[in-house]
Amino acid sequence: MERPVILWFKRDLRVQDHPALTHAARLGPVIALYIVEPELWAQPDASGRHYAFVRESLDSLRADLAGLGLPLVLRVGAAVAVLEDLRAAHGVAHLVSHEETGNLWSYARDRAVAGWARGQGVEWHELPQSGVVRRLRSRDAWHGQREAFMRAPTVPPARAVRAVDVAGAALPEAAMLGLDDPCPMRQKGGRGAAIRALDSFLTTRGETYQRAMSAPLTGARACSRLSPHLVFGTLSLREAVQAGRDAPTGRGADWARAMRSFQARLAWRDHFMQKLEDEPAIEQRCLHPAYEALRRRIPDPVRLGAWSRGETGLPFVDACMRSLIATGWLNFRMRSMLMAVASYHLWLDWRSTGPVLARVFTDYEPGIHWPQVQMQSGTTGMNTIRIYNPVKQGLDQDPTGAFTRRWLPELEAVPDAFLQRPWDWPEAARLLDRAYPAPVVDHVEAARTAREVVWACRRAHRGDAETARIVTRHASRKRPRRAARPDRQLNLDL
């Protein structure tokens, strides 16, 4: 009698282009398993909006698996305990899953699972599902390795899957896990939503992608909006890459530029995830250790609270934060601004602000989030230090004021000329610290001070051995076509 195989779904909630599903079907009868891990959902970077998206995606996955004759088995508990229970009851010989670049908690959990598998004689097969390379030896060859994966044909759903009759559990309600942040305005999960977003982007919305992505109002439509689907795996990255490459040509210069930008950002997604894969500890420590003492680890509670709620008194910053809290999404340039203002103007350590953003991003991807949080905080030792002017960003990216006014209705009476700097409005006294807070800092003076301190640290360690190590291990090998303007940010608007 063939011993069954556990197919462990994690953040790969689909059946299309799912190498692990196909591999499991070849090994024997399959137990398709998803584990709700209470400890995972208790982590400081987890939130109710993430769980709500996962629940919707599990409903979709269950239906797609049923079409293959395979029930989805839900279990609640610690992964090792759940897996051991199934092994003991059913004589499991193999565990199959995709490789995951998650947070430090999931990394520790996977190490525990690996130890369990070795101890019980269960063979764990981990398969890649993106361009991230496990145990990468050198960045020099990484681009070619990624490209080979993206060019390989997508994997169709396995046809002949033998199922094992296994009892499952009910999917817990969010409240049972202590989660109370459903975010009704967020994007919805599931394979159908992923395909609709991909199709609409490649046929209509994507035309203005390159020129509209930087503003929050236009970016909401022009960006692909695939990011949460890539995070939780309702769509594979390879599917997105190949669909973009197969999009019709000859539609004009805007489309051509848009598709090039789209492909570049999909590649940058893997580039940043590779950083965390190679050095998981950067979720908790500065990439360059010289920056550990730059800011106080214990944050100023007033500044942190004001920033977290969108009440800094800097209108465009507050509008962006309130929009993000309400919708779970914000275009990348404005995400960068939020992080930079927290790090430079408010002088908050990234380890106190990073989890705040992780919880409100429906598309929180640890492999992008933590390298980017550090990049926008100036603690990598190799990236350009960029300090946004929040007033200028408001004028540039929301020139009509429509976005700011939508999210800050208390500024209704402020004339357009003073919308991004209401403290200069002659009637500011009847507004500030009444309907709307006065700025928590003088943004000009705060930026000047931050620039001096960060650049002093940068100069002191420029060219040292640790900086050289970081560049060798993490820097892109692709040369930029031209130097970026000082205020330009890398955009990952997905």
Q: How many CA atoms lie within 13 A of 236 on its CB side?
A: 25
Q: What is the pTM of this model?
A: 0.95
CA nearest neighbour of 269 among 136, 168, 371, 190: 371
What does the pLDDT read at residue 318?
Answer: 99
Cβ 493 vs Cβ 404: under 8 Å:
no
For 5, 280, 367, the CA distances from 470, given in Å and listed in that order, are 40, 14, 16
Q: Give pLDDT tens digits along the chain (494 positions).
A: 689 999 999 999 999 999 999 999 999 999 999 999 999 999 999 999 999 999 999 999 999 999 999 999 999 999 999 999 999 999 999 999 999 999 999 999 999 999 999 999 999 999 999 999 999 999 999 999 999 999 999 999 988 899 999 999 999 999 999 999 889 999 999 999 999 999 999 999 999 999 999 999 999 999 999 999 999 999 999 999 999 999 988 899 999 999 999 999 999 999 999 999 999 999 999 999 999 999 999 999 999 999 999 999 999 999 999 999 999 999 999 999 999 999 999 999 999 999 999 999 999 999 999 999 999 999 999 998 999 999 999 999 999 999 999 999 999 999 999 999 999 999 999 999 999 999 999 999 999 999 999 999 999 998 899 999 999 999 987 765 443 343 333 334 34
* DSSP type of residue 401: S
CA nearest neighbour of 4 among 121, 126, 95: 95
Distance between CA 233 and CA 97 in Å, rounded? 13
Q: Is 262 annotated as a binding residue?
A: yes
Contacts (Cβ under 8 Å, ≥6 apart) of 141: none
Q: Is 51 annotated as a binding residue?
A: no
Distance between CA 189 and CA 232 in Å, rounded? 9
Structure tokens at 410: 């208390």
Strand partners, 94: 5, 123
Strand order in the sheet with 123-127: 72-76, 30-36, 5-9, 94-98, 123-127
Terminal alpha carbon distance of the chain:
47
Q: Which domains does the chain have, with CATH numbers?
A: 5-129 (3.40.50.620), 191-278 (1.25.40.80), 282-474 (1.10.579.10)
Instruction: Name the percent of the chain lying above pLDDT 90.
Output: 93
